[in-house]
Structure 1
Amino acid sequence: MTDNRNMILAIVLSLAVLLGWSALSSHFFPTANPPATKTVDGKQVPVANPTASPASNAPKALRERALVLAEAPRVRIDTPALKGSINLKGARVDDLTLTRFNETIAKDSPPIRLLSPGGAKDSQYAGFGWTGQNIALPTADTVWTPSASTLTPATPVTLSWDNGQGQRFQITYRVDPDYMFTVEQSVANTAGGAIAVQPYGFISRDGVSKDPDSWTIHTGPIGVFNKLVDYDINFSTVDEAGNAGVARSSTGGWMGFTDKYWLTALIPDQAATVQAYFRVGADRHYQADFTLPATIVQPGKAVRTTARLFSGAKEVNHLDRYEDTLGIPNFGKAIDWGWFEVFEKPIFKLLDFLFKLFGNFGVAIIGLTVIIRGLMFPIAQKQFKSMAGMRAVQPKMKALQERWKDDKQKLQAEMLNLYKQEKVNPLAGCLPILLQIPIFYALYKVLLLTIEMRHQPFVLWIKDLSAPDPLTPVNLFGLLDFTPPHIIALGVLPILLGVSMWLQFKLNPQATDPVQQQMFSIMPWVLMFVMAPFAAGLQLYWLTNNILSIAQQKWLYSRHPSLKQVEAK
């Protein structure tokens, strides 16, 4: 009767863990990218287009993108990383695709489109200009004259416009081989009187990000003001601010919109006093903008200001390089590393090195696991010896528990004395587990956040290690033409992980408390379901770690057979 009660209690607790985790994980610990493949006619094929474009919930497109692009003259953008164009009507950068990244893993998948013109689906664009009084200024309808037809890393393009009143406006665009534009604005005053102009820059987008904003991943409005990263601004806070917008004052800094993998950001002169805003208009049309202080331009003089525009993938090395070489404060924190950055960045650097060494990201994860286990080998040896000792003294522990079951204080004293006599420490096995927690979480964040891990294959059916394992026995490994629900879609890797955890628990000392015994017997299978929605790369790490732990413990027994003999007695 007692055993049945213990089993029922263990099952109830396990279900509470499983259901409670499912309820909390979507906000605090998003599990993985959307599946990269699906079952069609019994085969795994690439998903057509999960969440590729950077905006959603946008107003219905009024016109096809190609029609909108053809409505105005343009300057082509052609770099190793970017293709697109600058709209000469309004001098907007509103057409940009990333040549190094595709929407899906399919061979014919189109490149990621980051910027689109206003009036097209998922529009997002950037521009620069001036405000002022008693002066004719360029507007969104102004058609600029370019100095060249194509912008490349070797050929900058200057856009010019004369207002016919003695002022000539110019915007010079330069671009590097990656994702950074340098934008120089100038106003020359040939009129008889002084003028006052105020430079600005803006990013406009329709709709919120398709990537959810959570405790682990920040998406939406983002900025660095006075060298501090502001993750507190999101689409909902901008909505709540209404017409007033969310305002920030800063010396230098940067601001823009981020998705999980993509960023479009304005970087003003780092020495200038900046007034920044995040605003929302009709149909959830959002804007990030900055203005600089007004400048008086005397007759016969000119004024110039320089800003930058980043629009591209959040590749770790590129962000860090821009931060260091261009002096952009905390630009690397466009990736929301969180509190464990001190672990996450080294884990990423090591994984990136191993990936370049082996050419396969799954092999790199296995290599990382081997390195970590090697560094922790001495600690793990002490852990296993302690656990073996705990197994050996269990009969004596049970005898003490039976003898002093009515005197808890005496039992505690006798147990401590037993540990001292037998030279065992029940807490010795906790240290490796505690050390693994930040490493495991760091790898989780690296797989979740870094674009370098996106769409990286391993072997056979695993085409994307940043997505869950797609192969499951629930549909007979793809022979049945349906995709099972999320909660029961146990992949091969999670099943192997559950088996490895069960084997590992079998080698550990058995808990003396009956409820704990039942919990430990069920826990591997509960964790199997918990881990199933996570990235396959994370499952591969844990599985490899468990296999190495089991092998190390077996090796310990082979080197010290007396431990096994003592346990048998």
Structure 2
Amino acid sequence: MDDKRNIIMAVLLTGIILFGWPMLMETFFPDMANKNETVEAANASGNDQSDAGTPNVSTTPQVGADVAATTQVGKLRSVAAALPESPRIAIETPRLKGSINLAGAKIDDLTLTDHTIDLSKDSAPVRLFAPSGTKDAYFNRFGWAGEGVKLPDDSTIWTADKAKLSPGNPVTLSWANDNGQNFAITYSIDENYLVTAEQSVINRGASPIALNPYGLLSRTRDLDNVLPAEKSTWTIHIGPVGVFEGTANYDWDYDDVMEAGSKGADFNGTKGWIGFTDKYWLGALIPTGSGKIDAKFRSGNGDLFQAQISRDSAQIIAPGKVLKTTTRLFAGAKETVLLDTYKEKYNITLLDRAIDWGWFYWFEKPLFYLLHWLFEMVGNFGVAIIIMTFIVRGIMFPIAQKQFASMAQMRAVQPKMKKIQEKHKEDKQKQQQEIMKLYKDEKVNPLAGCLPIFLQIPIFFALYKVLMLSIEMRHEPFTLWIKDLSAPDPLTPVNLFGLIPFDPPAFLAVGILPILMGITMHYQFKLNPQQMDPMQQKIFSFMPWILVFIMAPFAAGLQLYWTVSNVLTIVQQKWLYSRHPQLKEQMAKDAEEKAKAKEAEAKG
């Protein structure tokens, strides 16, 4: 029993450390440098998020190299001011709206019409891409690297054959130099978030040329309109991401890329993709074909970052010949079903790993699909979470029965164990041998009761990841005051449930759901039949209230799951106690013995 109590205590304390420590660090020691990163970038380089104008074959595009003429140093433009500065063609799909900048052939204006910044009625749609020189600059560009050839750069004005890019309506941009080379980029787009860009070069010159097509994504570290407080944590990766040689890489963050500088970090291979991920959004470059590619993260002045892909070597284009390269751009929401669909349809290696599922990926995806199916059936994400909780607890019920049976057996042999401990208190080795013999004779497994604890760890962590990462839950209401299950419970007694005009700090804004979670957990621990020493008793009595504050900043969906799970556990425990009355009898007897011991100690 001592071993079991220690294991349970260790598991609970580990949970507090794992879930509580990141919250405490972010609450009391925020990274203040990030709050001023856009201003610092602007002061350092005019917030120039451009790439090089004419890179050569051996060097792919640099970050922030040559747009001093378009942005005054230290000054940022609004998106509304930047958009009319150059000719554009519209992008319009059922889920995207924006434009392509004909100066540089950049996709630098993109909003997600299905997703708003917040829940207010007049909330603007989420802006993913924004022009260079704006506060939230983030854009895509395709180009060519080469030597001895005049190439289009980020200021080249392209000619479009149509005024709008939409599903089933591709657009071709074209430009020609004075030496007989004709460049073209044909964009097509689907009804969701996938753009296909076919780059082509016709060499009408007299001599062969060597070119290397590339694609890039350039951005600042944060997008204030999208993720004002989101940072990469040990459970949720935000920042540079990619799949290289069949493995998802979450090891690089913005600070690592900054250390690598303009030289960058190379990830070469044959299949994969590269880009930047936020909690809910993704920008990714996906090469097609089977040839080798050179993928790279690099940084420029200030907090400016670039992800880029090119072929591993230049290709020779003889006179009269054509070089064509196709690359896909994903720019949108990380919807699990859609990512899986693209993965299968276009054979994109591990595109679903743009969501940082973590260690229990094999278990989390089925849980997500179960939750998603339930949501489609009932139409309310909160109700779907409750039903899923019933399902999970139902699956765990046979194991809980075995746990209680084991606990009943352990209680039954407790008097015999005490006699052995008293008889051999001077000989610990003999005491242990006799206890093991007792277990064998009585057919008791002291570790059987621990199995549900270990099984619930991956289940809870998997649910935590599913509920925290699923954009499908973002801005989904439950009932009454809970309008967004992806955000913390907003109703807190700290400000008398909104009656006092005061917004408490995150670590004090304890909502109704976390409080209910703490109350149910406290009652659940009260039903726990295990005998504990005074120190363990104190730890377990404080545990629910500590977890209330730890869980307060988490998504209401996770708080709802935990609260409902506690209620079901209480009901389950009461029913199982009725099946094993010896547990309650032993608990009453233990309580009586403890009371007598305390009374004797007080008198002594």
TM-score normalised by the chain length of structure 1: 0.87
Matched, 1:495 2:515: yes
Query: What residue number does 2:58 align with?
Result: none
Shift of 1:421: 5.8
1:24 aligns with 2:21: yes
Instruction: From 438, 441, 445, give the equivalent of 2:465.
Output: 445
Instruction: Find the residue that maps to 1:70 and give its secondary structure.
Output: helix
Q: 1:562 and 1:399, CA in 2 relative to 1: closer, same or farther beyond 3 A?
A: closer
Q: Which deviates further from its counterpart, 401-410 or 166-175?
A: 401-410
Secondary structure at 1:488's aligned position in 2? coil
1:270-419 correspondence to structure 2 within 5 Å: 270-292=289-311, 293-391=313-411, 394=414, 397-398=417-418, 401=421, 404-419=424-439
Partner in structure 2 of residue 230 of structure 1 = 249
**1:260 counterpart (269, 279, 288):** 279
**Bigger Cα displacement from structure 2, 16-25 vs 148-157:** 16-25
Q: Deviations over 1:231-280 (max 9, x none)?
A: 22221122112232112222242111111111111112331221222221
Q: CA deviation at 1:492?
A: 1.6
Per-residue CA deviation, residues 104-124 of structure 1 (Å, 9 max, x unaligned), is 122221110000011112111
1:533 positional shift: 2.6
Q: Which residue of 2 aligns with 1:4?
A: none
Letter of the aligned partner of 2:406 in structure 1? S
CA RMSD of aligned residues (A): 2.9
In the TM superposition, what is the alpha-carbon distance from 1:406 to its structure 2 partner? 4.1
8 Å contact kept, 2:108–2:140: yes
Letter in 1 for 2:261: G
When structure 1 is superposed on structure 2, of 512-521 and 174-183 the one drifting more is 512-521
Q: 1:168-187 counterparts in 2 under 5 A?
A: 168-187=182-201
2:563 maps to amino acid: L
Partner Cα separation in structure 2 for residue 507 and residue 420 of structure 1: 28
Q: Distance in 2 between matches of 1:175 and 1:56?
A: 34
Is the counterpart of residue 102 in structure 1 residue 112 in structure 2?
no
Matched-pair contact (CA < 8 Å) for 1:208–1:235: no
1:370 partner amino acid: F
Mapped to 2, the partners of 1:379 and 1:286 lie a distance apart of 50
Residues 41 and 301, structure 2, Cα contact 8 Å, conserved in 1: no
Deviation track 1:7-52 (CA, whole Å, cap 9, x = no partner) reads: xxxxxx9999899668732499x89xxxxxxxxxxxxxxxxxxx9x
- 1:413 Cα deviation (Å)? 4.2
Moved more, 229-238 or 332-341: 229-238
Superimposed CA distance per residue, residues 457-483 of structure 1 (whole angstroms, 9 cap, x where no aligned partner): 211112222222222222222222222
Cα distance change, pair 192–282 in 1 and its aligned pair in 2 (3 A):
same
Q: Secondary structure at the match of 1:486?
A: coil
Task: Give yes or no for contact 2:22–2:233 (8 Å, CA) kept in 1.
Answer: no
Retained in 1: the 8 A contact 2:468–2:558? no
In structure 2, the residue matched to 1:71 is 85
Alignment of 1:29-40 (within 5 A): none
Match of 2:168 in 1: 154
- In the other structure, the counterpart of 2:495 is 475
* Contact 1:510–1:517 (Cα < 8 Å) also in 2: no
509-518 or 532-541, which deviates more:
509-518
1:515 aligns with one of 508, 530, 535: 535
Q: 8 Å contact 1:133–1:196 — kept in the other structure?
A: yes
- Which deviates more, 389-398 or 211-220? 389-398
The residue aligned with 1:547 is 567
Contact 1:250/1:275 (8 A) holds in 2? yes
Does residue 197 in structure 1 map to residue 197 in structure 2? no
Q: Is the 8 A contact 1:253 1:270 kept in 2?
A: no
Q: Of 526, 544, 548, which residue of structure 2 is paired with 1:524?
A: 544
Which whole-Å deviations, capped at 9, do the CAs of 1:400-428 have from their partners, x for residues lacking one?
A: 55555444344434544555566544433
Contact 2:408–2:582 (CA under 8 A) maintained in structure 1: no
Paired residues in the alignment total: 535
Moved more, 275-284 or 386-395: 386-395
CA contact (8 A) 2:221 2:254 kept: no
Report the counterpart of residue 118 of structure 1 in structure 2: 132
The alpha carbon displacement at 1:57 in A equals: 6.6
Q: Distance in 1 between matches of 2:572 and 2:464?
A: 24
Change (3 A) 1:15 1:322: closer
How far apart are residue 307 of structure 1 and its match? 0.9
Q: Aligned partners of 1:65 and 1:389: how far apart in 2?
A: 70
How far the C-alpha of 1:337 sits from its partner, in A, is 1.3
> In 2, Cα distance between the equivalents of 1:18 and 1:186?
55
In structure 2, C-alpha distance between the alignment counterparts of 1:71 and 1:287, rounded to whole Å: 23
CA separation of 1:560 and 1:227: change in aligned 2, threshold 3 A: closer
Aligned equivalent of 1:35? none
**Residue 448 of structure 1, CA deviation:** 1.9
CA distance in 2, matches of 1:55, 1:558: 63
Supply the AA of the counterpart residue of 1:235: Y
1:207 to 1:527, Cα distance in 2 relative to 1, 3 A? closer
- Which of 243, 249, 253 is matched with 2:262 structurally? 243
- d(CA) in 2 for partners of 1:227 and 1:470? 42
Are 2:136 and 2:222, in contact at CA under 8 Å, matched by a contact in 1?
no
In structure 2, stretches of 5+ residues that fail to align are 1-9, 28-33, 43-73, 590-604
Partner of 1:44: none
Deviation of the 1:98 alpha carbon: 0.5
Partner of 1:38: none
Q: Which stretches of structure 1, 4 residues or longer, exceed 6 Å deviation after superposition? A: 13-19, 54-57
Confirm or deny: 8 A CA contact 1:156 1:172 kept in the other structure: yes
Once structures 1 and 2 are overlaid, which stretch shifts more, 173-182 or 292-301? 292-301
Q: Residue 39 of structure 1 aligns with which residue?
A: none
Matched to 1:25, the amino acid is P
Q: Which amino acid aligns with 2:456?
A: Q
Query: Residues 514 and 412 of structure 1: is their aligned pair in 2 closer, same or farther, counting only changes over 3 Å?
Result: farther
Q: Distance in 1 between matches of 2:253 and 2:532?
A: 50
Partners of 1:491 and 1:460 in 2: CA distance: 13
What are the ranges of 5 or more consecutive residues in structure 1 without an aligned counterpart? 1-12, 32-50
- Cα gap change, 1:551 to 1:170, in 2 (>3 Å): same
Contact 2:23–2:550 under 8 Å retained in 1: no
1:80 to 86, 94, 111: 94
Output the CA distance in 1 between the equivalents of 2:486 and 2:257: 31
